[in-house]
A and B are shown apart, each in its own frame.
Chain A
Amino acid sequence: MSTEITLLVNGERRAVPVDDDDLLLDVLRGLGHTSVREGCGVGACGACTVLADGHSVSSCLARAVRYDGAALTTADGLPADDDVVEEFVAARAMQCGYCIPGFVLMTHELLAENPDAGEAEIDAHLEGNICRCGTYLEIRTACVNAARRRREAAHTEKESA
């Protein structure tokens, strides 16, 4: 059965006709959000990660009809000066880059929930993301630096308030 659903993708309202068994992964890629990628197809690798109302979701296992009205964030919709992206670039935390959108969004979810996250929390939160190039150490450095930057920004905001 085909239904029209409304997705709020990176702040933009999109009306999309979907079949009942369409996956969120395919719908978002069809809308041009190709930072959402298929890897394992069973929710184990994280390449297809999107944030739905702030929560990370494996879009390869998500039926699009269930996300009618949801606010979705894809990595390509992050602002040009996104702090997490900048720290990933600064730490050279990628080789081929296929998995990186997933890692970036998982880092956003973690830091939104826990700005004090250290290495243990980072490892625990990102353990379900796989990087075939093996840049895990640089990815962890990027996350640590993003967390520090987030804390410093919060501190500066407090000082100036």
Chain B
Amino acid sequence: MTAALHRPRDLGAVLDLLAGTDDPMVFGGGTAVQILLKQGVLAATDLVDIAAVPGLADLVATPGGLRAGTMVTLRRMETDPLVHDRAPLLAQVYGRVANPRVRNTASVGGNIAHGDYRLDPPTALLVLDARVELSSAAGVRHVPIREFFTGFQETAVGRGELVTALDVPTQPRGGAAFSKLSSLAANDWPVASAAVLVTAADDVTREIRIGLGALAPTPVYVAVTVAATGSDDDAVDAALAAVEPLIDPLPDVRGGVGHKRRLGRVAVADAVRAAWTDTPRDIPREPREEASDDHRLPFRRLRRRR
């Protein structure tokens, strides 16, 4: 049976539909939902298209960072000067998802609600300690991204709820890097990905925050501290020791457990080494001064950092 398509014009109507239909599915960017429908593996009775709801595609600065409405596209996260300014790691990681056409259409909320363990954006959202806003007819609640991915293809989104926004804190000063490895086509799902942020834990210690993708049934977060005087090898060793018990790959056409475990270690080592090297010797402790709109570059080159 074909699912009925609803195109509500305000959030209240969306929430009523999510509460009042048999088996609703939010239709955001629609890329993943449309593929699942074509494959015949999505059994929804009602599709709730949220594209016409005002305000859901707003991307704004907040006192502590930025707020992205659920319908902000992945490509806007990749290219918007605000994201480059406040959370450059996030812009870099969004720029690595799929291809530009998918990024032009897919939405930040739908991306995480999809809940796939191989997604790129969660790796950066985890190290940046983002917060997910969930709305339902009962009201609004907030879930830390580190508690959002609850199981294989499962998230904290409850029945009747939808993701309405992501709040992302300004990226702390330090170094950051993202590594993504694929075993089939370069555009294919990764077999291992790691986003890493190195920041000051205190005057003599650095914190290495690591977000892993594709290496366990859910995206995984772990942090470890290392003496600021340590070498990049010390940082890599500490990071590998921390991720070792968390890497739990699912064998599939892209590789067996051993292969993925090995590539997971490579992704983590590469990203940690790059982030550690990228970290200034003395990380300024004071909060970053927010650049005013006047000082932002009107145009930034869309060069991808590899």
| Chain A interface residues (CB < 8 Å from chain B) | 1, 20-21, 41-44, 46, 49, 55-58, 61-63, 65-66, 106, 109, 113-114, 116, 120-121, 124-125, 127-129
Establish whether residues A61 and B100, one from each chain, have CB atoms under 8 Å apart when the complex forms: no
**Which residue from chain B places its CB closest to the CB of A21 in the assembled complex?**
B2
Assess the A44–B301 pair: CB atoms within 8 A. no
With contacts A114-B301, A116-B301 taken as known, whether A1 is within 8 angstroms of B101 at the C-beta atoms is no
Q: A58 to B34, alpha carbons, bound, how many Å?
A: 11
Q: With A61-B30, A121-B301 known to touch, is A43 a contact of B102 (CB < 8 Å)?
A: yes
Which residues from 77 to 108 on chain B have a C-beta closer than 8 Å to any C-beta of chain A? Answer: 98-102, 104-105
Are A120 and B303 interface neighbours, CB within 8 A? yes
A42 contacts across to B, CB distance below 8 A: 35, 38
Given A57-B105, A66-B49, A1 contacting B100 (CB threshold 8 A) = no
Contact A1 B5 (CB under 8 A): yes
Asked if B138 CB lies within 8 Å of chain A CBs, one says no
Q: Tell me, yes or no, whether B295 is within 8 Å of chain A by CB.
A: no
**Size bracket, chain B contacts:** 20 to 34
Out of A43, A57, A121, which one reaches B98, CB within 8 Å? A43
Which listed residue (B5, B35, B101) contacts A46, Cβ 8 A?
A: B101
| Contact between chains at B100 and A128 (CB < 8 Å) | yes
Of B35, B49, B302, the contact of A43 (CB 8 Å cutoff): B35
* Closest-CB distance, A64 to chain B (whole angstroms): 11
B interface residue numbers (CB < 8 A to A) = 2, 4-5, 7, 30-31, 34-35, 38, 49, 51, 75, 98-102, 104-105, 186-187, 301-304
9 tightest A-B contacts by CB? Answer: A128-B99, A20-B5, A61-B34, A124-B304, A58-B101, A55-B104, A56-B101, A42-B35, A43-B102
A57 with B187: CB separation less than 8 A: no
Is B303 within 8 A of A121, CB to CB? yes
Q: When chains A and B are docked, how far (Å) is the Cα of A16 from the Cα of B304?
A: 39
A3 to chain B, nearest CB (A): 9
Contact B100 A44 (CB under 8 A): no
Kindly state the separation between the CA atoms of A109 and B304 in the bound complex, as whole angstroms: 16
| B100 adjacent to A109 (CB under 8 Å) | yes
A-B contact pairs, 22 of them (CB 8 A): A1-B5, A43-B98, A43-B101, A44-B98, A44-B99, A46-B99, A46-B101, A58-B105, A61-B30, A61-B105, A63-B30, A65-B5, A65-B7, A66-B51, A109-B100, A120-B303, A121-B301, A124-B304, A128-B99, A128-B101, A128-B102, A128-B187
B187 near A127 with CB under 8 A, answer: yes
Q: How far is the CB of A68 from chain B (nearest CB, A)?
A: 10
A129-B100 Cα distance, complex, nearest whole Å:
10
Question: How far does the alpha carbon of A56 sit from the alpha carbon of B121 in the complex, in Å?
Answer: 21
CA distance A109 to B38 in the complex (A): 28
A56 in contact with B304 given A42-B38, A127-B186, A128-B187 (CB within 8 Å): no
Nearest A residue to B301 via CB reads A114
A41–B35 Cα distance when bound, in Å, is 8
Query: 16 additional contacts, CB 8 Å, given A43-B35, A61-B105, A124-B302?
Result: A21-B5, A44-B98, A44-B99, A57-B104, A57-B105, A58-B101, A61-B31, A61-B34, A63-B5, A63-B34, A65-B5, A66-B30, A113-B302, A114-B302, A121-B303, A125-B302
